[in-house]
Structure 1
């Protein structure tokens, strides 16, 4: 099972020649490219990517996350980032729209600190799918068409223009987000909470057997964040309403579900990869947190 897709893997999967791939590469700006979605069927395996992707989807598509799947049955904007693994499957033969993808190097440091820091591109746990009406579909399609036109020019500053077009799309999605009364707060507690959640998410998916889960306790994360474990626990509870251990247990359980549903690894292999010394410990943990045994999940998938 390949659980990590890099930018080269993407082009191989899409069967795009290297010259087309290289067109979107700049030593200064990293990689950015934009495509039109064409009719056809297909799917991608469950994996995390090392690039960002913003898609205008027209046509039915199923998205599979670690613990759920979502049917996109009407036009939608989809945001994908390197932290969240997923798989997708086309349902209808009609597939239209656009998408752009870009690497971490394309993102300016300031974008993580200004208004875009609260965008669906960066925030963990926020809604990544925005359904659109016909008017909004046309408005965003126009932006993508301008992207395609611009990337084919020889203008020396075209990547700055492309970044601005990307910002327009992101801001259109942010307009559709439900306002949060805490959006403009930037307290130390929120920063620590955000760092903890990002650190937790970056551990997944697990590349078994090459890599296994290393941080499984509040103490592990406190050491990594250079804060006292009691302070971390109070902060996480204050900001999220859940304890540090609850977040860790929930995320491990989600990953276990994904591995049971999307791989042919044995329960013992999954237990080892998630840091359990014995399969029985994993069985007890999984049943406590999900209400069913790992074996029953496997039986339902046969």
Structure 2
């Protein structure tokens, strides 16, 4: 068994509700000021326990999501999901509308459909959607309606906000499928979504397709065939890609030893982890850590 605390070395910030509204599971706010941060807030990697989204109207702050730097730009929509790593590098005056959405809020959708949307599952680890003029008008109008509802004390407020959120997330998911690689239309991607969800839950413990096939009451061969058909990738590749993403996050954002990272990701043998990482990433963990830090610091 690996030490579970190693993955927690990157702080996980909880959802902070707006005290003036007293909604413990959803937040939306207009941002129209210079954010004030302490020096200690910068260059500190962290995760958020909730889904964070923002429509940028003006601003050019520089941030990182995982190992990708980006400078925010007006007319774009930014989004992250709970396991991604955030880092502030430089903050400029920012104008826009931002949202915080908790798992509890999404659970109000009894059908479970919202949790399966691409912008929520984020299989490509994206963080930016480019908006056309028409997209910008639609999204901004919808967010304004959500703000108005949020700032009133009407009955069934969360029910109304959930309805607006459904429209927003469906619209953004269409854009996601247009702008990211897993957008290839498929007649039925439900099994793939289930498989990716299982990987997200168990990737630090289970590294073979057969284990996931057992959970889904399928043979390993049949699961592999269906996943390849729906995603274009072998089933094992999805497991390996998730492990590599998390390994890179920990190598870049923490000072944990390679052995500690290997154990945290479910590898009992650090040397095997080194060989695995080199085979997939085409470089050793140590070289990756030194080269990416040299490049960006």
Q: Which band: TM-score by shorter chain?
A: 0.7 to 0.9
Answer 1 or 2: higher relative contact order, Cα 8 Å, separation at least 6: 2
Alignment partner of 1:2 is 2:2: no
SS in structure 2 at match of 1:296: helix
1:66 and 1:181, CA in 2 relative to 1: closer, same or farther beyond 3 A?
A: closer
CA deviation string 1:127-171 (max 9, x = no partner): 552223566545544433333332232211222332333334335
Give the superposition deviation at 1:46.
4.2
In the alignment, structure 1 segments of 5+ residues that lack a partner are: 26-30, 205-212
State the match for 1:32 in structure 2: 26
What is the match of residue 215 of structure 1? 206
C-alpha distance in 2, partners of 1:119/1:299?
A: 33
1:259 to partner: Cα distance: 0.7
Post-superposition Cα deviations, 1:84-123, rounded to whole Å, max 9, x if no partner, equal 4131426451211111222223234356448x95452345
Contact 2:42 2:90 in 1 (8 A): no
User: Residues of 2 paired with 1:279 and 1:117: CA distance?
Assistant: 35
Partner of 2:3: none
2:43 is the counterpart of 1:52: no
1:198 and 1:299 mapped to 2: Cα distance? 32
Partner-residue secondary structure (3-state), 2:120: coil
Please, which moves more after superposition, 65-74 or 96-105? 65-74
Tell me how far 1:262 sits from its aligned partner.
0.4
Against the structure 1 CA distance between its residues 147 and 113, is the aligned structure 2 distance closer, same or farther, given a 3 Å change threshold?
closer
Q: What is the count of residue pairs matched by the alignment? A: 274
Spell out, residue by residue over 1:254-281, the C-alpha distance to the aligned partner (whole angstroms, 9 max, x if none).
Answer: 2111111000101111111122222211
Q: How much has 1:47 moved relative to structure 2? A: 4.6
Structure-2 change in CA distance of 1:111 and 1:64 (3 Å): farther
- Aligned-residue offset at 1:74: 3.1
Q: Is the 8 A contact 2:85 2:249 kept in 1?
A: no
Structure 1 match to 2:220: 229
Gaps of 5+ in 2: 1-8
Aligned to 2:81: 81
Structure 1 residues 291, 126: closer, same or farther in 2, change over 3 A?
closer
Are 1:283 and 2:274 matched, yes or no? yes
Task: Tell me what 1:158 maps to.
Answer: 157
Residue 106 of structure 1 corresponds to 105
**Alpha-carbon deviations, 1:26-58, whole Å to 9, x = none?**
xxxxx1121122323665854543322331123
Look up the match of 2:147: 148
Distance 1:66 1:126, change over 3 A: closer
Root mean square deviation of aligned Cα: 3.1
Matches within 5 A, 1:159-198: 159-174=158-173, 176=175, 177-178=177-178, 182=185, 185-186=187-188, 190-198=189-197
Structure 1 residue 197 displacement after superposition? 1.0
SS in 2 for 1:215: coil
Query: Any conservation in 1 of the 2:80–2:126 contact (CA below 8 Å)?
Result: no
- The verdict on how the C-alpha distance between 1:299 and 1:126 changes in structure 2, with shifts beyond 3 A counting, is closer
Partner of 2:178: helix, strand, or coil?
Answer: coil
Listed one character per residue, the Cα deviations across residues 233-291 of structure 1 (whole Å, up to 9, x for unaligned) are 11112222221222212221221111110001011111111222222111111111111
DSSP-derived class of the 1:109 partner = coil
